[in-house]
Amino acid sequence: MKHIIVPIDFSKESLNGLRLAIIFANQFKCNIQMVYVQKAVSEMGRIGLEEEHRMATQDFGKLIGEYSPKLHEGLEINYIIKKGKVYREVVNQAEAFEDTVIICSTHGASGFEEFFIGSNAFKVISATETPVITIRQGSVPHEIKKIVMPIDITSDTRQKVPITAEIAKAFGAEVHVVAVSTNESDEIVTKLNAFTKQVCDYLKDYEVPFKTAKLNGDNLTDITIEYALDVNADLISIMTEQSLSIANFVLGTYAQQMLNKSPIPVLSVTPKEIFILGSFITQGKPY
């Protein structure tokens, strides 16, 4: 993690993303860039866009003055003002750097809020392979000490392990590896046990402390959030796309519910697959 991109609309709610970004920037020793996106065409024409740009510049100056002192020495916070569709410009800016993470609030001012809430939230996540950390309304954690990482039976579920481990290592956090399912058939239990062992072996080799748990229920989102609240977790790590055959793990169901319901920040990782010699492998570390 070398760069953090934070979409900003200057609402009080959207600043939660900036506050969370400060915590990650200090831990990973990286810079922050705030992004404000103007509509391509203003209702007031060119003059309206110029005025909006001027006001955004002033507001960014105030934010930099307020939040720069919260960053460790040598780290910087800057901004860029762009025009176009919010999700596309945010993604483009994130992909302009290597090793970038997007951190943003899921609530904001009119227009910005419309983009982030509901199915539109996945526009920014689904349009990029960049990891995205979202935070809803409420208090921002002061540190990341416990991370809940649900594991299901899909082949993609383990792709979030490396970045989750990296975050845990940086913060000295404990990872809760939680096997989740909607039923307890022998086939599912066997696969979950195998996946859980692989994940635990990875964390052990990475020297990250961990605990394991098993959850079964009709709504995987609810039982995951309930568990995370019970252990006072500071982050939940999920995949954004899952097999359509797995109940409650359909894109727009489990992941969308998690983003909209979780009072705890959520790390969303988009699966990466490469087709080689007739079989899919996980990009990075094979499992």
Please report the domains of the chain, with CATH numbers, ordered by start residue.
3-135 (3.40.50.620), 146-282 (3.40.50.620)
Residues paired with 268 in a beta bridge? 132, 238
Return the DSSP state at 212: E
User: Do 246 and 153 touch, CB atoms closer than 8 A?
Assistant: yes
The pair of three-digit structure tokens given for residue 7, joined into one six-digit string: 């979409």
For the stretch 69-79, pLDDT in tens is: 999 999 999 99
Whole-angstrom Cα distance, residue 203 to residue 226?
24
For the stretch 191-236, pLDDT in tens is: 999 999 999 999 999 999 999 999 999 899 999 999 999 999 999 9
For the stretch 1-31, pLDDT in tens is: 899 999 998 888 789 999 999 999 999 999 9
Q: What angle, 0 to 180 degrees and rounded to 10, lies between the N-to-C axes of helices 45-67 and 15-28?
A: 50
Structure-token match 């227009």, residue found:
111
Rg from Cα positions in the chain? 19
Whole-angstrom Cα distance, residue 114 to residue 116?
6
User: 239 exposed, middle or buried (CB, 10 Å; 0-12, 13-18, 19+)?
Assistant: buried
User: 174 exposed, middle or buried (CB, 10 Å; 0-12, 13-18, 19+)?
Assistant: middle
Has this prediction a pTM greater than 0.75? yes
